[in-house]
Every structure is written in C-alpha cells, then in structure tokens.
Chain A
Amino acid sequence: MTASRWSLRHHRLQAILAVASIGTAVALPVVLLSVGGGVSQHELAQLENSGYQLSISAGGLHGISGAHALVAQIDALPHVASASAVLSVAVDLFLPTGGVTPALAEGVMPGAFLATQGPTTAGLFPHPLPLGDPSDLAHYANGTYAGPPALDVLVASPFAQDFGFGVGATLGLGATTNRSAATPFTVTGTFGVPAQTLGPAAVFAIVLPLSDLQQLTGYARAGAGSGALLDQADTIEVALAGSAATSVAAISQVQQEVQGLAPFYGVSALTDQASELRASIGVLNGFYLALSSVSLTIGLLFLALVLLRRVEAERRTIGIRRALGLPGRQIALGLARDGLVLAAAGGAAGTVGGIAVVTGLARFGSGSVATAAGLALFDPLTLGLLLAGVLLLSLGASAVAARSALRGSIPEALR
C-alpha cells in the first residue's frame, strides 16, 4: 500500500471536500462553455443558413422607406435571385372567440419571402405562401395603396392551437384595442415553429402581406401634398442566384450596387455579419474563460489548502522521511500525486455534474433556459483542455504544499 493511497483514504473527509470543491469549480465552466458554445454555434448556423446573402437596414430606430420601390430596383440587378422586404410590428388580434391579444406580426412579400429564407425556416411554411398576390404590388398600386388588399393571414400553429381556431377562421387585426376599428383577415394557413425555439421565426404569431400590415399599422400612407411616401420596412433581404451566392467577389459587387441604390442605409453581407458574430463569440468565450478561471482558481485554492492541511497533519512523517534522507523530490512527487488524484476526481465529477445539470435544464427547465440548454455542445476537445488545465493547476497547488513540506528544519519537524 503506498503512502498516497493511504493518505487519501484516511483523510476521506478532506478528500471528499476537495473533490467536491474542484467538481463545483469545473462544473461551472462545463455549463458555461457547453451552453454558451452551443447557443453561439446555433446562432452562427442560423445566420449561415439564412438563405440570403445581403441585408439592408436603416440606422437608429427608423426603418427603410420606399421599400417596395427599392425591392424592385434590387430585383433588377444582375446576380440577384430575390429581394424581400420585411416589417415586424406588434398588432392587436381579435380572436373568433371574442378575446383580444397582442401578437407580433411579420409583413412579407409573399412571393419573395421564402426565396430569401434558409431551408429550415422555409420548410416551416406552406409553399407557395397562401397570402394572395405573390408580388404584393397589386394592393401597393405604385404607392397609392388603392389596390385590393389580400386580407389573408398565416398563423403560427401553436398560437392557433392555444386560441382554438384554424384555417378559414376570421381574425380581426388592429393597431389599437378598439375592436370596431379592426380589419377582418381570413386565416389561410398555418406555419410551424422550429424545434429550437431561439430565433425570429419562433416569436412571430402571424404572417401577412407587407402592404396589408403597413396599411394596418400606419407604415403606409401617402405624404400630404408633395410629401414623401411612407412605405416602410425594417429590412430588405437579398438572395443571390446560383454560384454568386457563394462567391465573395459577386456578393461584394452586388453589395456595392445595392449600396449605390440606397446610400443612406446600411448594406451588410451575411459573411460580414458571420465574421462579426464569430468575433462576438470569441469575446464571449473569453468572458466565459475568465469566469471559469475565477471558479477554477477558487477550487484549486481550496485544493492547496487541503494539501497544506495534510502537510501540517503529516509534518512529522514528512520530517522522518527527510531525516532518513529521502529526496525532497520524492516528497513533492507524493504531494503532486495526491493533488493530481484529487484534481482528476474533481474534474471528472465536475464534468459529469456539469453535463447532468445542462441535461437536466434541457429536460426539466422552462422557456429559453431549457431551449439554450438543449443547444449545448459538449466538445470533447474543450472538455479535455479544461481537464488538462485543472490537472496542470493542481500541480501548482501541490507545489505550494511541497514548498511548505520541505521548508523548516528537520529537528523541528520531528518534535
């Protein structure tokens, strides 16, 4: 039986506490890195699978005006497969059962919308969108909004289920809670929500033609006299055709051309957004690592205290070993071995514990916490590096204990 094994067994409480503290210290980074990494990767994947390559948006709080006209101009550019203006506004929804509820509505150009979505989002909707005029230009009528509105609306399946109505029902939509001012829309279809309910598609309760939503909410009106027309959208998404969609040069060229059409708006390439997101993820990971370092430092300080306590308790036996002439290196190695065993046990316990916490949150948690936990990625390389870091730092804790063990005179230790 080696002294180390005996030592761990006969200082069981200290060993358990050290393992628990290191386990707790390791569990935090496991949770942070796995959930944070998973959510980041999910966001990045969503962005990279968006289905569009360029996005036009206005700075500040105001949106893009003249959206229909701008979309027509962009559509005419080479390499452009489709451009789609989108407006998101909260409206009041008057239910067939008589209730009223606020709901987030998304106004889209029915024919272009799905062409600018990635396969995951597009797959949630019926093809083609049953929202009347695919171009959304009939109602828009060159900015007069004198054409016939579609008055069709798609409803998120869970929303329809919750409120007990389906396709064919009539919903009143209004910008205020005044039912008499509401406009009747016909439910012409439903759309699903993604399994991972993080992202925009999850929160939209209804989707309707852009011009209908603009007019309903005051984002479409002719200016008084010679005033400018308000034809507002939040963003315009542009999908490129064929190989241009993956060509950096083509994307950059179309980006410049669109910027020329809309000099006052920001035109960003998705590749740039992805780069920015990656940079943000890097910053976030750095934050996670900093937080993890604090946690690990506390755990390893506790390990150092346990090892120092052991040195104090075994000062005489260490003194005997030194008196017999055992090299200090052997004594230090014994402590390092103890530290490594405790750190490895704590690291393993923390990793298993962290994974269990995340799995439990995904299974039994609620809302976005459960969703985020469900996205967690347990990267073996990251976990391995974390464990290696813990073992390395435990050597530092052992070195502190070894220094204490080998300091002082042997006769003092033997007293």
Chain B
Amino acid sequence: MSPVPEIAVRAVSKSYSAGRPEEVRALRGVSVVLPPGDVVSVEGPSGCGKTTLLNLLGLLDVPSQGQVLWDGRNVAVRSERERARLRLTGVGFIFQRFYLLPTMTARENVELPMRALGRPAGERRARADRLLADVGLSPRAEAFPHELSGGEEQRVAVARALANAPGLLLADEPTGELDRANTDQILDLLLRVQAESGSTLLLVTHNPRVAARARRHLRMEDGRIVGDGPEA
C-alpha cells in the first residue's frame, strides 16, 4: 500500500470564469488538514464547493490561490504528469456516477489503474479478482457496466479505487444514485476497507445518514468551511 500522507489545503481559493459572464468563486480561502487514517465527511448544500475541494485534494484540479500539501509539499504546482502519477499511486476516486469505462468488463475496469502502473498481467488479474471478491462481485467479473445494477457498478468503482492501494480515498456522493440498501452496503464496504488499510477517507455528501458514519465532519457554505468537528 502507498504510504498514507498527511493531506492539507492552505488558504485555497478556486474561481471559474471560462464561458461565464462573471467569475464564480467556488472556494474562498479554505484551509484544512487531513491526518493519515482520518474518516471525514464534507457536507453542505449544493454549490457550496464540496466537489471543488475534493477535486483539489485529489489533484484533479489546481487552485487559483493557495497550496495543496501532501506531507508538507505543495503538489499543486507540480506538472500535470507528476500530478497524474500521484493520482495513480496515491489516490482512489469513487464518483457518484461511478464512471466505469463502458468498453471494459468489471475486471478490466479494476485492472486499469494497475495496467497504467505496468503491473504484470498475472498479478493484475489476481489482485482484480481478489478485490472483486472483497466487494462480492466475483461472479460478475466478466460483466460490462451496462449489465450491472447501480449498486454493483459502485462496488466495482470501489474495487477500482483500491486497485493501487492508495493512501487517500476520495468519494464524491458515492451513494447519491443508490437506494438505501445499496447505500448501507457501499458505506460498510468503504469503512471496512478504510479500517483495514488505514487510508484517509473523505466522503463528500449531503446525505446525513452517510455523513453520520464519518468520525470528523466538515461543514461548507458558500465556498468556506464553516464547521469542523466530530459532531455531524
């Protein structure tokens, strides 16, 4: 497993202006530290900047101002190539809409990050099969995403996120398109994985039931963190 870094953002702002008549300030001077092994929920109304914060923490985007620190190093200023390498080895993403590649089977989706790292085919396949077994999808390994239910798709996405044993798991509304039973199943899975691996887990959600499973709660409003503590 990748070493679990301490992740932090310091005085981070993010503005969007492309194609809009007025600049939209998605984040306004946000600072937060995520110690290794933390389980954090980010809550708040739509448009408050939750996903933008997640994107910055996961190096999908760069801040307009401020720093994104991994073990104290500002990784936001690194090249896209370096940030891609960090994403590949250090971050596991789980998206609301799963974002499985429709042209690949469940196993191939799980193998994809390992293939990008150049892992041998046998090793890839063995680990993908193990991860699919962990999420209870061994019988569906050869299925394509359109052949899977929403819950199954998200379980494949979780397995994919764990493929390279990342130190940071980022889940953006991971249960947003799932029913209650599937929501509980996915959350149980994520928390079990986090407990086993010791990775940092950050859940973006506006669902109080999901947020309640976290140990730490960040509350956001209007691009700012307005609450940070153990209470939901």
Contact = CB atoms under 8 A, between A and B. Distances in A.
A326 B109 CA distance: 12
Contacts of B95: 414
B135 to A, nearest CB: 17
Interface stretch (A87-95, A316-324, A375-383): A316-324
A326 B101 CA distance: 13
Contact of B81 (A320, A323, A328): A328
Interface in A373-411: 409-411
A325 B55 contact: no
B101 A321 contact: yes
A411 B81 CA distance: 16
B99 A325 contact: no
Contact of B88 (A1, A3, A325, A409): A325
Interface of A: 1, 3, 6-7, 10, 316-317, 320-328, 330, 409-411, 414
B81 A3 contact: no
Nearest to B59: A325
B101 A317 contact: yes
A410 B51 CA distance: 13
A2 to B, nearest CB: 9
A332 B113 CA distance: 17
Interface in B87-117: 87-89, 91, 93, 95, 99-104, 108, 112-113, 116
A322 B113 CA distance: 11
A3 B174 CA distance: 26
A323 B93 CA distance: 8
Contact of A323 (B60, B86, B89): B60
Interface string B9-27: 0000000000000000000
Nearest to A318: B101
B79 to A, nearest CB: 11
Nearest to B86: A325
Interface string B114-158: 001000000000000000000000000000000000000000000
A330 B112 CA distance: 11
B78 interface: no
A26 B123 CA distance: 44
Contacts of A330: 116
B113 A317 contact: no
B80 interface: yes
B99 A320 contact: yes
A409 B55 CA distance: 11
A396 B81 CA distance: 22
Contacts of B116: 324-327, 330
B60 A411 contact: yes
B102 A317 contact: yes
Given A411-B60, A411-B61, A323 B99 contact: yes
Given A325-B84, A325-B87, A327-B81, A3 B99 contact: no
